[in-house]
Chains A and B, each alone.
Chain A
Amino acid sequence: MLDAFLAVLKGLPYSLLLTASAFVIGAIVAVPLALGLRSGIGPVRWLLRLIVDLVRGVPIIVWLFILKFGIQFGHWHFTALNAAIVGLSLVSAAYLAEIFRGGILAVPAGQVEAAHALGIKRAPAFARIIAPQAFRISLPSIATYLIGLFKDTSIASTIIVAEMVFQAQSFARQNPSLVGIWPYIWAGAIYIVVSIPVAMWSRRVDARLQEAK
């Protein structure tokens, strides 16, 4: 039982690494995407809308398989870890762009008008007045997405990244008796336990935002 726990725990750093890198890269890419989704130029908006929906419409496992097995230039191809990071970043960029867009949309129109009335130009008004408020509004959704992303890193096990579910599988294969069920139970438990602080923090932020309304 303890063996199983330790075996699964070996994968936790990879799960966290995947989550952190995909989240950071995704968040950076999501900012211009979110702005583009609100662009005044129709074709730009439609094209980005199509791309974002397409990225979200294809299951993560398909993206990972395309990157891991499909992309090859001469002898070069993605390592499993890099394919997982790129795939998860791509998907999280699309989801986070949608979350950011929603946050921008939720900032009361009066804020833009007030900034305008004060003679503040569009760009600084957005950067210093709209964006910070939009970010605050988006925080609970961002936190929820972060937890979802952490769970989605488990899909990287299908392209053999040595994260928790992969470790659970290899331990289960080596111990095919009743012991074999423990690694999966531990994996599930670790996912839940690691998610709890983020969930609690998100709930607190959400409650504070509700109060502020």
Chain B
Amino acid sequence: MFYADFGSDLLTMLSGLKWSVIIALIAIVAGYPIGLLLALGVRHSNAILHGVCITIVEIGRGAPALVILYLVYYGLPKFGLSMPSIVAACVGLAFNSAAYASEMMRGGIQSVARGQTEAANALGLKGSATFWKVIFPQGMRSATPALMGLAIQTFQGTSLAYAIAVPELMKQAYTLGGENFMYLRTFILAGIVYAVIAVPATWITSYFERRMAKKF
């Protein structure tokens, strides 16, 4: 797999990888807290808040990430909200991951045994203290493997930012392929760069999954 231009090709890809990682990190750091707010909104007893939040979540999960990216990048400028492609990628992927994260967090919170609420009540804890000190931490704990998996998905999803001309890994590979016409080795190298990050991350995630499954 080593060839004459291997080193310079790899460097070009790594300069793209830098953007892939930055976009993924921003999408996660912005998306997960928004996901938490959405999860709380979906659980809220106020029907309007519930309805608004679940609609946002269902759109974010139901529409393909690529469509969301196009909507943000080509759609929002029509309403006077134009942004550079990198920002659009961050916004689109953050929205996407927020929607997925909210369902994972909601699932985690829901999976906490009812006895925990009853026990907290019996101990005289108030409703909000019961939620934040007893239910929420346990819920987040069981949502952790899924959220780690989502982080990997988000990282892989940054490859779609290629379609809105973000100079990320895939875009760099495509440009490189257009220059040297060695598409096969160029895209395989790009794939290896993605896999070198995503595969070990998957192994770490499944390690956590197994460890947590054992505990109960």
Contact = CB atoms under 8 A, between A and B. Distances in A.
Interface of A: 53-54, 56-59, 61-63, 65-66, 69-72, 151-152, 154-155, 157-158, 165, 168-169, 172, 178, 180-181, 184-185, 187-188, 191-192, 195
B160 interface: yes
6 contacts: A59-B156, A69-B177, A69-B184, A154-B66, A155-B160, A188-B63
B199 A54 contact: yes
Contact of A70 (B66, B162, B188): B188
B2 interface: no
Contacts of A187: 63, 67
Contact of A63 (B174, B191, B202): B191
A188 B68 contact: yes
Interface in B1-27: none
A70 B202 contact: no
Interface string B58-86: 11001111111011001100100000000
A185 B75 contact: yes
Interface of B: 58-59, 62-68, 70-71, 74-75, 78, 156-157, 159-160, 162-163, 170, 173-174, 177, 183-188, 190-191, 194-195, 198-199, 202-203
A61 B170 contact: yes
B74 A172 contact: yes
B88 to A, nearest CB: 13
Nearest to B158: A59
Contacts, number: 115
Nearest to A199: B62
Given A62-B190, A192-B58, A184 B199 contact: no
B199 A165 contact: no
A62 B190 CA distance: 7
A54 B156 CA distance: 13
B96 to A, nearest CB: 11
B159 A62 contact: yes
A188 B71 contact: yes
Given A57-B198, A165-B64, 18 more contacts: A53-B202, A54-B195, A58-B191, A58-B195, A58-B198, A59-B160, A61-B159, A61-B162, A65-B183, A65-B187, A66-B191, A70-B187, A165-B70, A172-B70, A181-B74, A185-B71, A188-B64, A191-B64
B80 to A, nearest CB: 11
Interface residues of A, dominant DSSP: helix
Nearest to B72: A184
A152 B64 contact: yes
A191 B67 contact: yes
A152 B153 CA distance: 12
Given A59-B170, A69-B183, A184 B75 contact: yes
Nearest to A15: B64
Contacts of A172: 70, 74
A57 B185 CA distance: 17
A66 B170 contact: no
B37 to A, nearest CB: 22
B100 to A, nearest CB: 11
Given A57-B194, A62-B190, A65-B183, A192 B62 contact: yes
Contact of A57 (B66, B188, B202): B202
A152 B156 CA distance: 12
Contacts of B71: 181, 184-185, 188
A152 to B, nearest CB: 7
B116 to A, nearest CB: 19
A59 B194 contact: yes
Contacts of B75: 181, 184-185
